[in-house]
Amino acid sequence: MNLQMIQAARARLQGHARRTPLLNAPLLDAIAGRRVFVKAECLQWTGSFKFRGAWAAVSALRGARGVIAFSSGNHAQGVALAAARHGLPAVILMPEGSPAVKIANTRAYGGEVILYDRHSVDREVLGAELAAERGLVLIKPYDDAEVIAGQGTIGLEIAEQFDGAAQVLTCCGGGGMTAGIALALEDRMQVRTAEPAGFDDMARSLAAGSRLRNAQMSGSICDAILTPMPGEITFPILQRLCGAGLVVSDDEALQAMALAFQHLRIVLEPGGAVALAAALFRDDLPDTVIAIGSGGNVDTAVFADSLARFGG
């Protein structure tokens, strides 16, 4: 992985991915006690940064008969749309209990959705079996060099949109977006991860110096970033370039969603709001931070709950 791969991915994304805005609101700054900017990837195609990596990976294929991916919803939607626009079929493995809006949208984008029990089925084994059976190319959600390169284009945009010193906070699951942004901003800005409490495998792994696994795979509303453990490709990049990981509660993520809507008029899902939650509620941060608002694919009931409890 290197900057040249990210720049090549950006060239392939030109005219296909949206350049998302960098937003700021004085009232959010006052709450945080620092300047807080939000890179609104919730406004990206399919409502998530995942479209960047999906397009980068699909557009790099040559002679593929189709693709397969596993995801709780954001990678699923990105791959389904990217594959459809390249004229390729897409099979998407999604865990039972994924948000209904993500399942519905993945199907609407043309993906064939196969639901599985995340407690009893190894998605990687199932994905490999289906890929071999149908002749499909597996596009992993984060441990794929082209996917990482596509997500890294967020960092290239930040470098153009912000001139100054800042720390970048990312919503982190397996680390694909974080790794790409950290590579794109190497020698310019430090990147730090944000995760939900109880599912902070990246923060614990960075502290320990080795990849550690989450004890469970359910129990947080931040479904978009619940992954078993840091990626094999991504972790060494984060280990080299990123600072200590940050952890927030589910309630803090819900409060960040309500504040983002109140002050920026954007919709974030819980997993897409943890970086903003860290920016607002953690103390160990500099005077200026850029939080990635990584996705906005939230079920109506969850969003309504965040507004009812924290909307003011």
Of 138, 172, 206, the domain-final residue: 138
Give pLDDT, residue 70.
Answer: 86
Helices 176-184 and 3-13: crossing angle, nearest 10°?
110
Please indicate, yes or no, whether residues 152 and 23 belong to a single structural domain of this protein.
yes
- Whether residues 25 and 152 fall in one domain: yes
Tens-binned pLDDT, residue by residue, of the chain (312 aa): 899 999 999 999 999 999 999 999 999 999 999 999 999 999 999 999 999 999 999 999 998 899 999 887 899 999 999 999 999 999 999 988 888 888 999 999 999 999 998 788 888 888 888 999 999 999 999 999 999 999 999 999 999 999 999 999 999 999 999 999 999 999 999 999 999 999 999 999 999 999 999 988 788 999 889 888 999 999 999 999 999 999 999 999 999 999 999 999 999 999 999 999 999 999 999 999 999 999 999 989 999 999 999 986
Shared-domain flag, residues 121 and 67: yes
CATH of the domain at 231: 3.40.50.1100
Q: How far apart are CA 103 and CA 113, in angstroms?
A: 7
**123 & 42 share domain:** no
Do residues 201 and 283 both lie within one domain?
yes
Q: Does residue 101 sit in the same domain as residue 209? A: no
For strands 35-40 and 22-24, give the pairing: antiparallel
- Same-domain pairing of 283 and 199: yes
Pull the structure tokens for residue 33: 């006690």
**What pLDDT was estimated at residue 109?**
95
The Cα-based distances of 290 to 134, 158, 181, 309 in angstroms read: 42, 9, 12, 25
Structural domain ending residue among the three candidates 138, 153, 182:
138
Q: How many domains does the chain have?
A: 2
Spatial distance between the Cα atoms of 198 and 219, rounded to a whole number of angstroms: 9
Question: What pLDDT is stored for residue 73 in this prediction?
Answer: 81
79 and 225 in a single domain? The answer is no
Residues 206 and 189 in one domain: yes
Ramachandran assignment for 66, one of left (phi > 0), alpha (psi -120 to 50 degrees), beta (any other): left
Considering 93, 118, 138, which residue would you say is the last residue of a domain?
138
Residues 112, 261 within the same domain: no
What separation in angstroms does the CA of 302 have from each of 34, 134, 220, 268?
A: 28, 37, 12, 11
What predicted TM-score, i.e. pTM, was given to this entire model?
A: 0.95
Q: Within the chain, how many helices (H) and strands (E) appear? A: 13, 10
Q: Judge if 115 and 201 occupy the same domain.
A: no
Give yes or no: residues 180 and 248 share one domain: yes
Domain span including residue 185: 3-49+144-310
Q: How far apart are CA 102 and CA 6, in angstroms?
A: 27
Alpha helices by DSSP H, listed for the chain, are 3-13, 26-32, 50-59, 74-85, 100-108, 123-134, 145-161, 176-184, 201-208, 234-241, 250-264, 270-281, 300-310
